[in-house]
Structure 1
Amino acid sequence: MASFEKLKLTKQLLIAVSNAGFVQPTELQSKILTRINGGQDVIAVAPEGAGKSTALVLAVLNKLKFTEEIAPRVLVLVPDIESGELLIDTFHTLNRNRNLRIMGLFNGETSLDTHVLELTDGVDIVVATPDRARAAYLKLGLNLNKIQMFILDDADIIIKKGLQLPVVELARGIIKTQHLVFTEVYHPKLQHIVEQFIDIPNLIEIEDLGNEQLDTLEQILYQVPNFKTKLNLLYLLLADKEVFDKVVVFVNSTFNAETAYKNILKSDEQEVIILNHPEYGDVGVKSIQDFKLSPKSRVLIVVGQQEEQLDLSQLPIFIHFDIPEDDSHYLQRVVLKSDEQKENLAITLCTDLELLQIKKLEQKQGKKMQLMDLPDDLYIEKEVKKKKEDEEEDDPTRGGAFHEKKAKNLKTHNYSAREKIRLSGKITNKRLD
C-alpha cells in the first residue's frame, strides 16, 4: 500500500496528516487521491470506515490554493447537519492554511438572509445540505460560477432523504467543474441521478467483508426498485404453492403485515395467517408451532422480533420482506444451528434504498448474499412522481431502466424447494452496489 508521501500531497498536508495520527492511507485513499489530483471525475464506493471523509478533505485541501476570490470554489453536499458538522471538523483538523474560509450552510438557527450575507463576504469551501444550498442559490447568495469541485458526500443517504432534485439543479447550475461522489452503495436510483451531470466517471469500489465468516444457511437476494414492486414479487413467489408450501414472511410493521396479507390473500383465507395480530384473530395463530401443525396454513406473516426466538428449523424457506431494523435479528435467523438446516433457504427482498442495510449485513456475516435475476413475469411498478407545487419537471429518479417484463412460465417439477428457488431465477454477480 502506498504511503501518504507517494500520493503527491503538499508538505503542509503531510504534516497535518502525521499530526492527526494517520500512519498510512487506506486502500480507498490510495486509489482515488492521485486520480482526483489529476482532475478526474470520481465515484468512490466503500463501506463505513474506509476513509471516505478523510479522502474528501485531503483531496480538497491538496488542490485548493488561497486566493481572494469572494465566490466559493468548492461545494460539498451532505445529507444532514450532523454529517456536515463532522466533515467541517475534519477540514479544520487537517487544514494548516488558516486563510482558507470554510462555511457550513444548514437549516437551523441561522436565517437564510444571514447565510446569504456571509456568502457574499467571501468563502472558499461551502459544506451544505442540498435544500439549503439551493435556497441560497435561488436567493443569489450562493455563486456557482467559480466552483472547481462539486462533491456529494454520503450520496446514498442524500437520495434516501429525497434530496435529489436540489442536487441536480445545483449541478446543472455549474458550467464546468470536477465531480466527486462518495457513497457506501451505488444503486440504479443513485446512478440515474449521477449520470445527469457526470459523463464519464471513474468508478472506484472497495469491498470489506471482514475476516470472520459466519456459518449460515443459503441466502439469496432479490433487488427491486421500489416497495410496490416488492409486493408484486412477494405475490409472484408465493403463487407457487408447490415450492412455498410452508413459509414464514418477516415484516417490520403492522402496516406492512396487513398490506402483505391483503396482497397475498386472493382465495382461501386459511392459507395466509398472521402471528399474534389482535385484529386478525380469526385468521391468526399464537405460536409458530400452531402454524406448523395447521394443514391449511401455508404462509405465516410475523411482525418484528418476537419476545421468544422463533424455531425455524423445520421450515425449508423463510422470507424477509422487510430487513430487520436490528441486524442481530437477521443474523440469529440465518446462522446455522443444526445440520438439518443446511438445506434451508433465506430469501431477502430489498429496494434500491435498502441496499445499504444489505451491505452492512454482508459485512457482519463475512459473505455476500447470492443476487437473483428478477422473474421475467414480474411487473415493475413505476416510480411515483412527487406532487409539489414548485416542481416544474419530473422526479429525476424516474428512469427508463425499469419496465414491465414479458410473461414466462416459471413452473418447475420434481425438485426440492431449495433447488426450485435456484432454478426459478438465475444467480448473478452484477449488483450495482
Structure 2
Amino acid sequence: MSLDKLKLSKPLVAAMTDAGFLTPKEIQARTMSRILGGQDVIAVGPEGSGKTTTYVLATLMKLKYAFEEAPRALILVPDAEHVDHVLEQFKLLNRNNTFRIIGIDSRGAVDTQMNEITDGVDIIVAVPDRARALYLKLALNTNKIQLFIVDNAELIVKKGLQLPVVELANSAYKSQHVVFTEVIHEKLKLMISPFMKDSTTTIEVDEIGEQKAEVYQQMLYHVPNFRTKLNLLTLLLSDADVFDKVLVFVNTRLTAQTVYKNFNHVNETEITIYKPLFFDDAGYDDIEDFKENPESRILIVANENLTDLNIEGIPFIIHLELPEQKETLIQRIVKRTDEDVVAITFSTDIELIEVKKIEQAVGQRMEVMELPEELKIVDAGPKPKKKKGDEEDDSSERGAAFHEKKASNLKNYNYSAGTKAKMTYKNKKGLS
C-alpha cells in the first residue's frame, strides 16, 4: 500500500517520504480515514506500530490553518520523555513550521509556560497534571480544541493521572477524542468512558511477529489486584499432587515474606523463602538444597538483588509479580533443556503492558487461563458504566466504545486449580 492511500496532503507525503516512511503502517491505514472523518477512535497497538506518527499526521491534516490564538489540538502523554519524542515527530513532519507547537511538562516554570500559551499556540503536547494546572490558572483555553488525543493511555493510568485527563477531556467537550494505547483494560476503560462517544470505533492492530525464541509452556492469569493474586496462588498451590515443586517469583524480600505468611503452613519446610529476610522464616540460602529436599514444595524467590539462579529441574515457575526488566522473566522461560516446564504469570490490568512487551520480545502469546470458579476475587472498585449501544461484537472495529477480546486473547479454557510438568498442567487443566 502506498502513502497516497492515507489521503494526505502533498507536503505531508513528501515529508513522510523524506523521513523514510515509504508505506503506511497497518494502524495508520486503518485509523487515518476515521480520524480525519471526525470519529472518536480507540487505537490499540504494540510499541513501534506507528501510533505516534498516525496522530501527528492526522493533527497536521485536520488543523489546516495555523497561527490562531487558542490551541486547537491537545495531546496528553505520560511523561517528559514522551513529550520530547512527540515534539521530534512533529518537527520531522511539520517541515515548513506551519504550526506553532509547544511541549508542557514539569521541567518548565509555570509562569513561562503560561506566557508561551497566551502568546499563541496551535498544538500543545503535555503531561496531564501540568496541563490541568495551567487550565485551572486560566492559561490553557480548551474552548477551541478540535482534537483531544491521549497517547500511551495505559502508562497514564499506571502513573495515576486519570483525573486530570478526564477533567481536561470534559472541558474540551466540543472536540474529537482519540486514544492510543498498547493494551485496553478495565482501569483504562474507567478513565476514558466519561468522554468517549457512543459511536467510538475501536481498532486493534495485532503485530506479534515471528517467534524469536523457543520458550516453555506459558500461561497467564489476569486478576484485578494483588490481594486476588494471593488468593489465586493459595488456591492453585493447594493441589500438592500437581504442584509438587514450584518457584514463586516476587519483586522484593518484603513481598516474599507477605506471600509466605499468606499460606496455611502444613509443615515447617513445605513452603520456604530463598534467603529469607527474617531468621524465623523457613528458607534456603542455596536452591540446590530446596531441590534435594522432597518435603520442600514451594520456594518463594525475590528478584531484589538476585544473582543468577539455577532453576533447572523445577517443573513450575510462577511469576506472581512482573519484574521491572522484562529480560529477567524472559531468561527464565527460554527453553534450554528438553525438560517440560510450565511458566505461569499473574497479571493485573496495570501489568498487562509488561505482558505485551514480553510477548513481543519472544514472539509468542501467553495462554490466557480462566480463573477458577472457587477463587475469591477481592473487589477492585467500581466498574465503568455501560453505555447505550455497548453490545457484544466479535469485530475488532465496531461502533461502541469498547470491544470484545480478539479470538487469540479469549479466556476460553475451563480449568480448575492445577509429569511432563504434570502433563503440561494436566493437559492445561483437563485433569484426567
Give the structure-2-normalised TM-score.
Answer: 0.86
Question: 1:145 is matched with which residue?
Answer: 143
Q: Equivalent residue of 1:333, what SS?
A: helix
Contact 1:243 1:417 in 2 (8 A): no
Question: 1:195 is matched with which residue?
Answer: 193
Query: In 1, Cα distance between the equivalents of 2:427 and 2:159?
Result: 34
Relative to structure 1, the CA distance from residue 94 to residue 291 in structure 2 (aligned partners, 3 Å threshold; closer, same or farther) is same
Question: 1:389 is matched with which residue?
Answer: none
- Displacement of 1:231 after TM fit? 1.8
Q: What is the aligned counterpart of 2:125 among 124, 127, 137?
A: 127
Query: In 1, Cα distance between the equivalents of 2:308 and 2:21?
Result: 45
- Displacement of 1:418 after TM fit? 3.4
Identity among equivalent positions (%) equals: 47
Which structure 2 residues correspond to residues 223-302 of structure 1 after superposition, within 5 A?
Answer: 223-280=222-279, 283-302=282-301
Question: 2:429 is matched with which residue?
Answer: 423
Runs of 4+ in structure 1 off by over 4 angstroms are 397-401, 408-412
* Per-residue CA distance 1:79-133 (angstroms, 9 max, x = gap): 01111022112112211343421121211232x2332232222211111110011
Which structure 2 residues correspond to residues 13-412 of structure 1 after superposition, within 5 A?
Answer: 13-110=12-109, 112-198=110-196, 199-280=198-279, 283-304=282-303, 306-313=306-313, 315-339=314-338, 341-342=339-340, 344-383=341-380, 399=384, 410=416
- RMSD value over aligned CA atoms? 2.5
* Per-residue CA distance 1:177-213 (angstroms, 9 max, x = gap): 2111111111221122222211232222122222234
Question: 2:390 is matched with which residue?
Answer: none
Q: Equivalent residue of 1:279, what SS?
A: coil
Tell me, which stretches of 5 or more residues in structure 2 are unaligned?
387-413
Q: Equivalent residue of 1:180, what SS?
A: strand
* Per-residue CA distance 1:191-238 (angstroms, 9 max, x = gap): 222222112322221222222342222110001122222122112212
Relative to structure 1, the CA distance from residue 195 to residue 282 in structure 2 (aligned partners, 3 Å threshold; closer, same or farther) is closer
Give the structure-1-normalised TM-score.
Answer: 0.86
Q: Equivalent residue of 2:350, what SS?
A: helix
Contact 1:220 1:346 in 2 (8 A): yes
For 2:46, give the aligned amino acid. P
Query: In 2, Cα distance between the equivalents of 1:233 and 1:155?
Result: 28
For 1:119, give the aligned amino acid. I
- Displacement of 1:349 after TM fit? 0.5
Q: Equivalent residue of 1:325, what SS?
A: coil
For 2:310, give the aligned amino acid. L
- Displacement of 1:45 after TM fit? 1.2
Relative to structure 1, the CA distance from residue 139 to residue 53 in structure 2 (aligned partners, 3 Å threshold; closer, same or farther) is same
Q: Equivalent residue of 2:125, what SS?
A: strand
- Displacement of 1:398 after TM fit? 5.4
Tell me, which stretches of 5 or more residues in structure 1 are unaligned?
385-396, 402-407, 426-433
Query: In 1, Cα distance between the equivalents of 2:427 and 2:128?
Result: 43
Contact 1:238 1:264 in 2 (8 A): no
Query: In 2, Cα distance between the equivalents of 1:326 and 1:281?
Result: 31
